[in-house]
Structures are given as C-alpha cells and as structure tokens.
Amino acid sequence: MHELGLAGDQVGNTRVHGGPEKAVYAYPLAGYAAWRAEFPDIADQFQPGAMGENLVVEGLDETSLCLGDIIRCGAATLQIAQIREPCSTFAAVMGTTRVVKAMVRSGRCGWYLRVLEGGQIAAGDGHDVIERPNPAWPISRFTPIAAGKAGRVEDLAELAVLPGLSAYWRAKLARRLADQQQ
C-alpha cells in the first residue's frame, strides 16, 4: 500500500475517485446483509466487493468509526478522510438508481481512507483504531449532514475545521455554513 492506495488498484474515473484523500475505500461486511434484505430482487449482487471497496472490514461500521480515526491495518497506517457518496457507476453496476437513494437514506456508505504510512496488508489483518481525534463525530452522525438533511450552524462550523476530514468536505461545509449565515 502506498499514498494513492493499493498496488495494482485501478481507478475508473480519477476526476471523482482516487487521490490521496480517497486512496482506499473500505466497506463493512455487516452492511451487506442490510442491502440483501432491502433489495431482495438483486440480493445475489450484494457480496463482498460489490460496493467497489478495496477492503471489507469485519466488526466495524459507520456507527463505530469516527471521521479522522487513525487505523492500523497490517503494516499500514490509514486515516478516515470522508464518506463514500453514491454515484452513477454504483447505480449502473447494480442495475437500478434505487440503490443510490438507499445509500444516502441509510448511511450504509463505507469510508475513504488516506494512507499515512504505507506498508503491506493482507486478508485477515485487523483494523485497529489507534487514535480517535474526533470522538463526537461517528460516520453515522455525519452522513445525514453530508446528504443535506441535517446540520445546525454549530455542527457545520465544527466540521469545516475538523481534523482529518478531507479538504473537499471541509470546503463544502464551509460554503454551506456561509450560505446559512447570510
């Protein structure tokens, strides 16, 4: 693993995917059961890897991880930089736009990681949180704000300078805050 992700990984659309703040995409294994239950007509498609993730994580999810968490995985050190936003590629792969709305509504989005320290990782390596700079900001608290369905001025102000949050989201939230304060 290196600054831009996993060796050999290919990014289809570098305009919106990849880069240092979206180097690795992780998705919780537990999320797949909820997808299969919500979409029984395409349940067979919801298997590990279906979200386009680089890492399938067991035992952690959007409620147990926080924005900015620093995670040790194998010999690599990673940091949660932002959530995954659903896109047209996800809808195309699944064959329906309903999944895009469901990801936004449910918050079952997974998370992007930046690579703080590269190193080897392998199947079965743990994902141990070694530092939590933002304990008040689990991913599940952020997802409705990201979707534009929540966000008090105080929350937006805090998020706009939140350590570890991607520059993209800090700037987006600062603009939203400025709009609310006008």
Percent of the chain with pLDDT over 70: 91
* Helix intervals (H) in the chain: 31-38, 88-94, 98-106, 139-146, 153-159, 167-180
pLDDT at 17: 63
Contact call for residues 139 and 65 (beta carbons, < 8 A): yes
Position 11 confidence tier, pLDDT thresholds 50, 70, 90: low
Position 86 confidence tier, pLDDT thresholds 50, 70, 90: confident
| Prediction pTM value | 0.91
All domains in the chain, ordered by first residue: 20-134 (2.40.33.20)
d(CA 25, CA 134): 20
pLDDT tens digits, 172-182: 999 999 888 77
pLDDT tens digits, 24-52: 999 999 999 999 999 999 999 999 999 98
pLDDT at position 88 over 90? no
Position 87 confidence tier, pLDDT thresholds 50, 70, 90: confident
